[in-house]
Amino acid sequence: MTSIDVSREQFRLSMLLYDTRYRSLTIQVVAMIALMSAAAWLVNNTVENLSALGKDFSFRFLGQRAGYDISQTLIPYTNDDTHARAALVGIVNTLLVAFVGCLLATAIGVTMGVLRLSRNWIVARLAAVYVDGFRNIPVLLWILATMAVITDTAPAPSAFRGDNATASMIFGSVAVTNRGVYVPWPIFGPGWQIVVGTFLLSVIAILVFGRWAKARQDATGQILPTFWIKLGLFVLPVLIADQIAGRPISLDYPELQRFNFEGGGFLDKSFIALTLALSLYTGAFIAEAVRAGIQAISRGQSEAAAALGLRSGRIMSLVILPQALRVIIPPLISQYLNLTKNSSLAIAVGYADVRATLGGITMNQTGRELECMLLLMGFYLILSLLISGTMNWYNARVALKER
């Protein structure tokens, strides 16, 4: 028996470079130092240049009076409010575009993605033309083009005036003008709580009924006409409650005044142009994700489902789409993020998003470029992280459960 003598090798400085055990550590330390000194230099440079210009770094301007008006305000705002409030108005406007845009883009994308796989040659080609047309032209151009189309094709409010008006309201209540769309808007009179409460109750009832019907189907195999029952639950109780409470909710119709339509609700054309263009553009990408997801499911799945006697609509909704979702969701997340970030192009059509209020007018009036840009970047970062966090959670839910 011979014992092997393991002598501890003496550590030498050159081993930091030549010994693979230490080399990666050395490189990381050097890179870290370089990175931090670069960051320190950047910060120091900024501070010095700011002081050379005689500017300080402060967020006090957020508390000052804004003094400007905003075209679309979902929360109460006047020009006597602060810059912080104006920024908040912009944030709400950005969220509105992002929310409506994502919903619309998903609806368009799923429809177009499915249609692109249609066996009908014309339908499939049209969907392909849509996808390639929108995907391959910059979104800014689509936004500007949509805006130009609305401005140049829709009539001015004055065209609705007089005995021989050249334009008329759709159904006598909706006015499409080159300033935007004026629609009837609900007014909540006394007793509206009864109607809204009934509405919420019927939504809950629909969910409960859906679960019960599914459990019943699992147990007995019998299928109920759930769609019609749900529709009935959705509509009837509200109508009845409305009658009982004495019709508390009425509609306010827009009416043409001296310059504009007044009353009712107003969808600004910049909002319409931006949301529509962003949805159509992003929808093209989502359509491709949906098509890829569906094609990733092997044909055997749909053939097996057909062999069980399922109709093609049910094959799509019960067999293909639930599996395809696993493939679709990850690219869908990045499309939602893209749409949200692209909404900062709002300035091109004068939509008052956060980039236009905080990063535009406020920045210009107060001269606080650095502070405003940092706030903006922080806002978009948080919003994007929230969206991807939510979507990742949803993805984890639909992901394949491996046991």
Partner 1 sequence: MTKIKAFIGPAVFLTFAAGAATAGTLGDVKGRDVLKCGVNTGFAGFAYPDSSGRWQGFDVAICRAVAAAVLGDQDKIEFVPTTGETRFTALTSGEIDVLPRNTTWTFTRDVDLKFTFAGVNYYDGQGFMVRKDLGVTSAKELDGATICVQTGTTTELNLADYFKTQGISYQPVPIQTPAEADQQFLGGACDAYTTDASQLATQRGTYPNPADYIILPEIISKEPLGPVVRQGDDEWADVVRWTYNALVAAEEYGVTKKNIDEMSSSENPEVRRLLGTEGDLGRMLGLDADWAKRAIAANGNYGEIFAETIGVGTPANIERGLNALWINGGLQYSPPFR
CB of 192 to partner 1, least distance (A): 27
Q: Is 47 in the site for partner 1 (CB under 8 A)?
A: no
Site string (199-228) toward partner 1, x via CB under 8 A: ------------------------------
Q: Is 360 in the site for partner 1 (CB under 8 A)?
A: yes
Q: Is 258 in the site for partner 1 (CB under 8 A)?
A: yes
Distance in angstroms (rounded) separating the CA atoms of residues 233 and 131: 38
Sign, CA torsion 342/348/353/355: positive
CB of 276 to partner 1, least distance (A): 17
Stretch in the footprint of partner 1 (CB under 8 A) among 39-47, 186-194, 221-229, 278-286: 39-47
Between 260 and 395, CB nearer to partner 1: 260
Q: Is 367 in the site for partner 1 (CB under 8 A)?
A: yes
Q: Pull the structure tokens for residue 148.
A: 């130009």
Q: Is 179 in the site for partner 1 (CB under 8 A)?
A: yes
Single residue of 132, 255, 303, 369 touching partner 1 by CB under 8 A: 369
Count, residues near partner 1 per rule CB under 8 A: 47
Instruction: Report which of 133, 179, 173 is spatially closest to residue 158, judged by C-alpha positions.
Output: 179
Other CB atoms within a 10 A radius of the CB of residue 41 amount to: 10
Single residue of 39, 204, 207, 385 touching partner 1 by CB under 8 A: 39
Rg over alpha carbons for the chain, rounded to the nearest Å, is 29
Single residue of 70, 104, 358, 383 touching partner 1 by CB under 8 A: 70
Distance of CA 360 to the CA centre of its chain: 22
CB of 62 to partner 1, least distance (A): 15
What is the DSSP code (8-state) at residue 64? S
Question: How deeply is 123 buried, as exposed, middle or buried, from its count of CB atoms within 10 A (0-12, 13-18, 19+)?
Answer: middle
Instruction: Report which of 277, 393, 384, 283 is spatially closest to residue 330, judged by C-alpha positions.
Output: 393
User: What does the DSSP assignment read for 1-14?
Assistant: ------PPPPP-TT
Degrees (nearest 5) of the Cα angle 355, 360, 361? 130
Between 56 and 402, CB nearer to partner 1: 56
Single residue of 17, 25, 35, 103 touching partner 1 by CB under 8 A: 35
Single residue of 83, 85, 116, 269 touching partner 1 by CB under 8 A: 269
Distance in angstroms (rounded) separating the CA atoms of residues 74 and 315: 43
Stretch in the footprint of partner 1 (CB under 8 A) among 88-96, 146-154, 282-290, 306-314: 146-154
Between 55 and 397, CB nearer to partner 1: 55
**Can you tell me whether residue 364 is helix, strand or coil?**
helix
Strand partners, 177: 180
Q: Is 68 in the site for partner 1 (CB under 8 A)?
A: yes
Instruction: Report which of 355, 289, 300 is spatially closest to residue 328, judged by C-alpha positions.
Output: 289
Contact 69, 245 (CB under 8 A): no
Q: Is 350 in the site for partner 1 (CB under 8 A)?
A: yes
Distance of CA 301 to the CA centre of its chain: 33
Single residue of 45, 120, 168, 193 touching partner 1 by CB under 8 A: 45
Query: Which residues ranging from 71 to 90 are in contact with partner 1 (CB under 8 A)?
Result: 71, 79
Contact 356, 309 (CB under 8 A): no
Which residues contact partner 1 by CB under 8 A?
27, 31, 34-35, 38-39, 41-42, 45-46, 49, 52-55, 67-71, 79, 148, 151-152, 156, 158, 178-179, 257-260, 262, 269, 347-348, 350, 352, 356, 360-361, 363-367, 369
